[in-house]
Amino acid sequence: MKKLFMGVRLKRLREERRLTQQALADSIGISLSYLNQIENNQRPLTVAVLLKLNAAFGVDVQLFSGEDEARLVGELREALFDPGVGEEISSAELKEIATGMPAVGRAIVGLHKRLSRALDQSAALAARLGDDRQGDGGADSAPIAAAPFEEVRDFFYARHNHIDALDRAAEAAATGLGLPPGRMVTGLETYLEAKHGVRVLRHALPPGSGVQRAFDPQGRILRLSERLSGGQQAFQLATQLAFLEYGGLIDAELAEASFSNAETRALARIGLANYFAGALVLPYSVFLQSAKELRYDIDLLGQKFDVGFETVCHRLSTLQRSGARGVPFFFIRVDRAGNISKRQSATDFHFSRVGGTCPLWNVYEAFTRPGRIVTQLAEMPDGRTYLWMARTVDHSAGGYGTPDKTFAIGLGCDLQHAPGLVYSKGLRLDDAEARTPIGAGCKICERPACPQRAFPPVAQALRIDETRSSFTPFAST
């Protein structure tokens, strides 16, 4: 275990509990001078002291974990590496904030997000009023409406993509109803009719409409698409169960968040219902045990639980129950143009929201090998290395001429977890030369000699020299 200097966090805990240094020292059985040294970062916070804090106050030791440090550093870099800030802030200073004053760091990131949204709204309003005469801007231009989706993503991101109360409730429901993993459709359908008077109809939705689930609350009829597989039917049935029976639990989770508008709250409610459904179809303990036994083989897990590749990947990124954690994964879904439609993380991996993601990342290579899993050892500028697995998935509404949709699904984890994954087979985990250097996004990436740069780094001045030409674009001073 690396040395953890968490003095500010310990001070904050003491202030929240309204304890003096002496009172805290007495409670955990250490000397006042030792506690004072820890709070002033003169001594590291040891495992023994962490266990004493847990025993005395029930404090989750994850509060003092360094897992969140890297993701907060990445967010701070994105927020503060702006020429308009007028200051060149070093990585060491960002790390100091993330380690010692995480609440301050999160506040800075939150303010930056609010500013970005305000600027987007301002630009959209200007276009509507006709002030923006460039391109197609004009009175009929539509405002940017991405904020609700971003807020919901942030809601799950802040919780490491794990909603413990819903997860446990879903697992208890699966056990209580005797639903066998991979064969839950009949049991869910029977329960919905017996408990809630809901009849399930198939073949009752217009062919090619793309609608998968439609509920009539007055007639108590739930219509499901005939194109859904068994696992997909179970997911939709479980989603309806979440709305009918677990709405109070979902609302309790929403009450802890501060969403900017009703639209965002409604979107988050659907997201939490979907979370419950995934946790019921793939019950935590059974799924985690299977994942470990199969070395996180996504295809084998999909076969065992009768669900698709994307569903398995998404569930793997949620296994962060205290005392029974799985591998902390980062999950992402992108299209060919690089648009990110899903982004969830149980780890500290962070990609920029500005200027696109890294073109050297294997999630884009997946499009060149449809249906095949591609792996990559990718190293970030801070030296952290990740094992990435990526594969394309296809969805169709059915019928000739109907539009299909294709995405690349990426699942990644820190290198330290790679030996436990089947996807590490044949990879040179200890060879630094086998790692692909990637970045969080061109505008904030610190790599000076990347030939794939699409934008210059915002924190460095460009070197413009008409007497020289370089293979690397956007050379900086």
pLDDT band at 200 (very low <50, low <70, confident <90, very high): very high
- Spatial distance between the Cα atoms of 448 and 459, rounded to a whole number of angstroms: 12
How many domains are contained in the chain?
A: 4
385 membership: H or E segment, kind and range: strand 385-396
Are residues 406 and 334 both part of a single domain? yes
Are residues 402 and 337 both part of a single domain? yes
- Spatial distance between the Cα atoms of 196 and 383, rounded to a whole number of angstroms: 54
CATH of the domain at 380: 3.30.450
455 found inside a domain: no
Which pTM was predicted?
Answer: 0.74
- Spatial distance between the Cα atoms of 286 and 179, rounded to a whole number of angstroms: 12
Q: Enumerate the H helices of 102-260 as residue ranges.
A: 102-128, 147-158, 164-176, 185-196, 230-245, 247-255
**Helix, coil or strand: residue 223:** strand
pLDDT band at 461 (very low <50, low <70, confident <90, very high): low
Region of 67 please: left (phi>0), alpha (psi -120 to 50) or beta.
alpha
- Beta carbons within 8 Å of 343's beta carbon, 6+ residues apart: 153, 157, 331, 332, 333, 351
Neighbours of 253 (CB within 10 A): 18
Given 280, 315, 350, which residue is the final one in a domain?
315
Q: Please give the radius of gyration of the chain, using alpha carbons only, rounded to the nearest integer.
A: 25
pLDDT in tens, 57-83: 776 655 565 556 777 877 787 778 766
pLDDT in tens, 265-314: 999 999 999 999 999 999 999 999 999 999 999 999 999 999 999 999 99
Are residues 349 and 278 both part of a single domain? no
Are residues 187 and 303 both part of a single domain? yes
* Domain containing residue 107: 69-145
Helix orientation angle between 164-176 and 262-281, rounded to the nearest 10 degrees: 40
- Amino acid 324: pLDDT: 93
93 found inside a domain: yes
Q: In this model, does residue 195 exceed pLDDT 90? A: yes
- Spatial distance between the Cα atoms of 460 and 213, rounded to a whole number of angstroms: 51
In the chain, the amino acid numbered 98 is A
pLDDT in tens, 379-401: 988 888 999 999 999 987 666 66
Bridge-based pairing state of the strands 199-202 and 221-224? parallel
- Spatial distance between the Cα atoms of 66 and 242, rounded to a whole number of angstroms: 34
Are residues 386 and 415 both part of a single domain? yes
